[in-house]
Amino acid sequence: MNKSLLLINLGTPDKPTYFSVFKYLRQFLMDGRVININPILRYILVNFIICPIRSFSSTKIYKEVWDSETGSPLLHNTQELTKKIKSKLPDYDVHFAMRYQSPSIEKALDNILSKNPDELIILPLFPHYAAATTGSVYEEVSRLLSKRWVVPKIKFINQFYDNEKFIDAWIDKASKFEIDSYDKVIFSYHGIPNSHVDNVYQDSACTDHNCETAITENNKFCYKATTYETTKILAERLNIPDDKYIVTYQSRLTNKWLSPFTDEVLESLPKDDKKNVLVFSPAFTADCLETIIEIGDEYKELFEESGGKNLDYVESLNYSDLWADAIIDIIK
């Protein structure tokens, strides 16, 4: 059987310039699954308030992480991961795309479908299902495929937060650190609005489902529940006592997002004499602005200004061999 695999990551500007960043942010934030408000209000908010202002600050940050040879770290890491998987899966036609900007999902699908595969596997590189990430990818892929006369067998993979080999890849990254030497271990996940997790449930809210304690039939697609489950698995494998770690959420736009907030937790820890911390970000499979700058620079500086002595960050999976092996296990 002729099989194709399409890896999809979030996206990145084409260049670290104001207009490229504006274009990227506009496409990202105009997605109704990202900002799920009235379309007219979203258009005004994104085009006339958020993007014109935020593009200035974001451009400066992108310039900090942009490599003169490899460009965007997210793009580079995804490219290298794709190459590695191609070498491990010679019988598969392997491609990658970005949900926003380049290379686009549309161009990737054009390339793949021109070879008339029997089966196409879609793998968004987000371990935990969220409507704004995996859900958005599904919507875009389905929209594009609906225009096709011939559609092969499609296999969508919606999450892999508890896949054993995925966990193994994180354990390997953690092996570089003496976990016992830290006062606190923080598992920091990208935040999403509270309304996004509430919308998972038909007649109730996330807070009614004990998402911090167990996965159930009701909460198995709840981002909060699955992030807590990943954390519990990692903590158990790393022998981290319950009182030594905490789940937090970063990159919020408003205070109506999942909490506790990573920055506020880091700011408070030195007051409890927790001055040596280690931060994981298991929702990010590739290093990007949120890990390199937000955690590695901004949160580190905030922690030290608050009285902390040391903040170490466990790098993302990027294109490690174990991560490539995990993907092969996930798709089969």
pLDDT, tens digit (0-9, with 9 covering 90-100), for 192-213: 999 999 999 999 999 999 999 9
**Confidence (pLDDT) at 273:** 98
**Confidence (pLDDT) at 59:** 98
Q: What is the arithmetic mean of pLDDT over 277-291? A: 98
Sign of the Cα torsion 36, 106, 74, 18 reads negative
Sign of the Cα torsion 59, 258, 199, 285 reads positive
Angstrom distance (rounded) from CA 202 to CA 216: 15
Q: What is the pTM of this model?
A: 0.97
CATH 3.40.50.1400 residue window(s) in the chain: 3-159, 164-313
Residue count of the chain, please give it. 332
Angstrom distance (rounded) from CA 61 to CA 41: 28
Q: What is the arithmetic mean of pLDDT over 244-269? A: 97
Angstrom distance (rounded) from CA 95 to CA 108: 7
**Helix segments in 134-186, DSSP class H:** 134-145, 164-174
- pLDDT, averaged across the chain: 97
**pLDDT bucket at 67, cuts 50 / 70 / 90:** very high
- Confirm if 5 and 92 have CB atoms less than 8 A apart: yes
- Confirm if 120 and 152 have CB atoms less than 8 A apart: yes
What's the token pair of residue 215?
């996965």
CB atoms within 10 A of CB 67: 10
**Confidence (pLDDT) at 301:** 98
**Confidence (pLDDT) at 197:** 98
Angstrom distance (rounded) from CA 79 to CA 60: 24
**Confidence (pLDDT) at 108:** 98
What's the token pair of residue 244?
């030594």
Residue where the block lists tokens 């699955």: 226
**305 Cα distance to chain centroid:** 28
**pLDDT bucket at 58, cuts 50 / 70 / 90:** very high
Torsion of CA 57, 293, 17, 19, to 10 degrees: -60
Strands lying side by side in the sheet with 153-156? 92-100, 3-11, 119-124, 153-156
CATH class of 164-313: alpha beta
Task: Give domain 3-159's CATH number out of 3.40.50.1400, 3.40.50.1950, 3.90.1150.10, 3.10.20.30.
Answer: 3.40.50.1400
